[in-house]
Structure 1
Amino acid sequence: WKNVLFTMYEKSKTFVVEAGKVIIAISIVLWVLASYGPGDRFEQIENKYAQPPVGLSSSHIETLIASEKLENSYIGIMGRFIEPAIKPLGYDWKIGIALITSFAAREAFVGTMATIYSVDGGDEDTTTIRERMRNSKDPVSGLPVYTFATGISLMLFYAFAMQCMSTVAIVYRETKGWKWPVIQLVYMTLMAYIASLIAYQLLK
């Protein structure tokens, strides 16, 4: 048991020291991108809600502010920037933001979408998100954004894409370099993109 415990300790220590540094670095980058925006956009949003709209609770107003700040943050700008590339998959810029933030962890997708659609915390979160996503329309075509084809496309994307910085960190630690993590990230993202593209184009 002594050898087992020592091995566990060494492996855990190595993970925390080596992989942990990469995870923390990526987390900080994602946090900065989501928390800051160019110019005085955030200040304008704060001023917009300086006089609270009548009939809205303070928590709802805070959620609206968080939603608008996310849209105008650097990560929101990135979401709009990649929209032309992900449009063939059935995604809009809002899904683009969630794809970027979920690189930290796939579970972040739901939280990001809840923020974008200004959903308050509570027991009815899931229902509210579903309703707002169902009512979301493409501003150009007027068609629903979230369809059966979009859902299948998203599931396939997350099935193949390496949307997990912990995996990247572990591969980096094991290979002692960035070559294989980058190769793995690129080819799995391409595979996810192609699978999602085929599925959406066939099912839409």
Structure 2
Amino acid sequence: MQEYLKRRDFQKQSRARYPYLLNQTPSVQVNSDAGAGIGYTNMTIRGSDNQRINVTLNGIPLNDAESMGSFFVNLPDFASSTESIQVQRGIGTSTNGAGSFGASLNIQSNTLAEKPYVELNNSFGSYNTWKNTVKLGTGLINDKFAFNARLSRISSDGYIERASSDLQSFYIDGGYYGKKHILKGIVFWEKRKPTRPGTVYQSP
């Protein structure tokens, strides 16, 4: 069974992050180590853990080559740069490998925005949780080129002791949009300082 989520479907949850964007979809259960949905998170689909869920970004596998798991802590605020999400429950195609035994999750990043835009989003929540996002796009230049950029920071003290998070990221894409062809490049980067509950990290 497949399900498509467009940007308008999860726009009201813009403060949410993966995998919490999928929390209201059937057969999906999510959990958070820190208890606030920030930092280390996990999910199951129909009881299958993340080692049996194949995740792709624009068709490129995200699953770790060794553990076959997907670590969404490495994608802080990637939801702000997501256009659509496809959830396929049950066994996927063999081209996705063993990771698609339980389900497949296909994430599509931003598509073409023909008009220039600037967005500034700030939110505050429990446990001193902050989310700051700046987005901008050039729109279509000379009917051929378009560029988008995003800069984000998410921080939280966490629900329990020693579970704080400080996640920073940026996303940049640029593309050539011809009548019959599209050539697009994407670069995204993250820096994180999440602490697993019950673990103490000391500076050298």
TM-score past 0.5 threshold: no
TM-score under structure 1 normalisation?
Answer: 0.23
**Greater CA radius of gyration, 1 or 2?**
1
TM-score under structure 2 normalisation?
Answer: 0.23
Q: Specify which structure has the higher proportion of strand.
A: 2
